[in-house]
Structure 1
Amino acid sequence: MLVAIDIGNTNITMGVYDRDQLIGNYRLTTKFQRTSDEYGFMLLSFLNASSIEVEQIEDIIISSVVPKINYSFTNCIKKYLHKNPIFIGPGVKTGIDIRIDNPSTLGADRLVDAAGAFYTYGGPCLVIDFGTATTYDVVTAKGEFIGGATAPGIGISTNALSSQAAKLPEIEIQKPNKIIAKNTIKSMQAGIVFGYIGQTEYIIRTIKEEYGENLKVISTGGLGRIIASETDEIDIYDVDLTFKGLKIIYDKTKKNIYI
């Protein structure tokens, strides 16, 4: 079995593959202060909840955009799973040709999503990840990552309203029935959700115009379902896209081939 882990700025998500089948996933909040033992206990709890024995784990692959916790996470895996994890980075075969100004600056999460989208759905494609930040990335028909756009995530935008304006409360992110709201909470929800739908549609259309040909639009990310369900500009919403990308990259790395 393979454990696939995505360490993001807001959440850490973990999934287990039994061959090509994703059989369980688990999410916890990213916190810099946790020790390797704390991560280890959480990892073991996840495996136990999925009725998986440590001895069944063959390998671990990790995508991380939070370098501060990589050391603790690596130690937890060595101590509790008795494995050396594979981190997405130099030397790892992804099957994606990075064609940007400085390839070393590309976040592992964006590369993993690109691999997941391209090898699952084909190219050319536009990959949108509604995470802490919302990223829009273009992959050509040849599997070339040629760049994209980055915007504040839905959560960041919502938190900015309540934290920067004294009289605006924290709200649940959901789409109200009408955009003309009659109270503060509905007004904030309308501005955030309808505004984000508009932003998403405009960026997609503009990227397609600039690219010059049609792109299949694939989205993922925890809050992405809200947006994807409200627009025809997004073709596919795949909540497991990052796990699929990690599995694809793992297979390529183990076989030591480029495709």
Structure 2
Amino acid sequence: MLLAFDIGNTNIVFGVYDGKKLLQSWRISTDRGKTSDEFGILIKSLFADKGLSVNDVDAVIISSVVPPIMHTFEAAIIKYIHKTPMIVGPGIKTGLNIKYYNPREVGADRIVNAVAAYELYGGPVIIVDFGTATTFCAVTERCEYLGGAIAPGILISAEALFQRAAKLPRVELVKPDHVIGKSTVEAMQAGLVYGYVGLVDSIVERMKRELDGSKEPFVVATGGLARMVAEESKTINEVNSLLTLEGLRLIYERNT
């Protein structure tokens, strides 16, 4: 079995594969204060809860955008899973032709998503990942990773309103029925949700115009808040919550 981890700033998403079949996936918080023992015991207990055993894991692959946690996390994998993990980074075969000025600057999560999106939907394809930051990535018909855009995540935007405006409360992030809010809370929710939908559609439309090709780009969204935004978006074609894990599986296969 293959155990794949995507370490983000807010959450760690991981899943276990038997060949190409995803047996189980989990989402835990990215707690930089956890020790390697705490991570290891948590992973083992989550496995046991689903009737799985870490002893059946043959290999581990990790992508991360949180460098400070990596030493602790790798130590947990070595101690409790008894495997040396493959780390997505420079030197890893992805199949992408990366056109970034400095390819080392591209986040591992963006590369992994691009690999999965091109494999599943072909090119050109645009990937929108709703994480701590919202990232937009463009891949051509020829499997060229052109780059993209990075915007503050919707949760960051909500927290900034609460922190920087003295009279605005912290609100639950839900989609209101109307854009014209009848209370401060509704008005904030409308601005955050529908404003973010406008941001996403505007950036995607501009990226479509810049992508050369004979085909209309397919737009796939992933990440925790993807479904809420996609319900109102005019440009998102599909939501795939497992896109990053699929990319990790593909990259592992290409390197073994």
TM-score under structure 1 length normalisation: 0.96
Mind listing any 5+ residue stretches in structure 2 that lack a counterpart? none
Out of 203, 217, 220, the position equivalent to 2:219 is 217
For residues 81 and 16 of structure 2, the distance between their equivalents in structure 1, rounded to whole angstroms, comes to 13
Q: In the alignment, which residue of structure 1 is the partner of 2:100?
A: 100
Spell out the pairing of 1:16-165 with structure 2 (5 A cutoff). 16-165=16-165
1:198-228 deviation per Cα after TM superposition (whole angstroms, max 9, x unaligned): 1111111111112244211111010011111
For residues 221 and 106 of structure 2, the distance between their equivalents in structure 1, rounded to whole angstroms, comes to 18
Q: Secondary structure of the residue that 1:48 maps to in structure 2?
A: helix
Q: Secondary structure of the residue that 1:62 maps to in structure 2?
A: strand
Paired positions, count: 254
- Shifted more, 62-71 versus 20-29: the winner is 20-29
Shift of 1:91: 2.0
Shift of 1:188: 0.5
Spell out the pairing of 1:211-250 with structure 2 (5 A cutoff). 211-213=211-213, 214-250=216-252
For residues 40 and 166 of structure 2, the distance between their equivalents in structure 1, rounded to whole angstroms, comes to 40
For residues 203 and 234 of structure 2, the distance between their equivalents in structure 1, rounded to whole angstroms, comes to 13
Q: Counterpart amino acid of 1:97?
A: N
Taking every aligned residue pair, what percent have the same amino acid on both sides? Answer: 46
For residues 105 and 212 of structure 2, the distance between their equivalents in structure 1, rounded to whole angstroms, comes to 26
For residues 172 and 212 of structure 2, the distance between their equivalents in structure 1, rounded to whole angstroms, comes to 38
Whether the 8 Å contact between 2:3 and 2:17 is mirrored in structure 1 is yes
Q: Secondary structure of the residue that 2:255 maps to in structure 1?
A: helix
Shift of 1:23: 1.4
1:165-207 deviation per Cα after TM superposition (whole angstroms, max 9, x unaligned): 1221111111100011111111100000010011111111111
For residues 199 and 228 of structure 1, the distance between their equivalents in structure 2, rounded to whole angstroms, comes to 12
Q: Secondary structure of the residue that 2:52 maps to in structure 1?
A: coil
- Shifted more, 225-234 versus 80-89: the winner is 225-234
Q: Counterpart amino acid of 1:219?
A: A
Whether the 8 Å contact between 2:124 and 2:211 is mirrored in structure 1 is no
Q: Counterpart amino acid of 1:196?
A: Y
Q: In the alignment, which residue of structure 2 is the partner of 1:253?
A: 255
Spell out structure 1 runs of 4+ moving beyond 6 A.
none
- Shifted more, 65-74 versus 210-219: the winner is 210-219
For residues 46 and 124 of structure 1, the distance between their equivalents in structure 2, rounded to whole angstroms, comes to 38
1:14-63 deviation per Cα after TM superposition (whole angstroms, max 9, x unaligned): 11111111111111111211110011111111211221112210011000
For residues 41 and 149 of structure 1, the distance between their equivalents in structure 2, rounded to whole angstroms, comes to 37
For residues 87 and 246 of structure 2, the distance between their equivalents in structure 1, rounded to whole angstroms, comes to 15
Whether the 8 Å contact between 2:175 and 2:190 is mirrored in structure 1 is yes
Q: Counterpart amino acid of 1:100?
A: Y
TM-score under structure 2 length normalisation: 0.97
1:123-181 deviation per Cα after TM superposition (whole angstroms, max 9, x unaligned): 11011101111111100111110111110011111111111112211111111000111
Q: Secondary structure of the residue that 1:119 maps to in structure 2?
A: helix
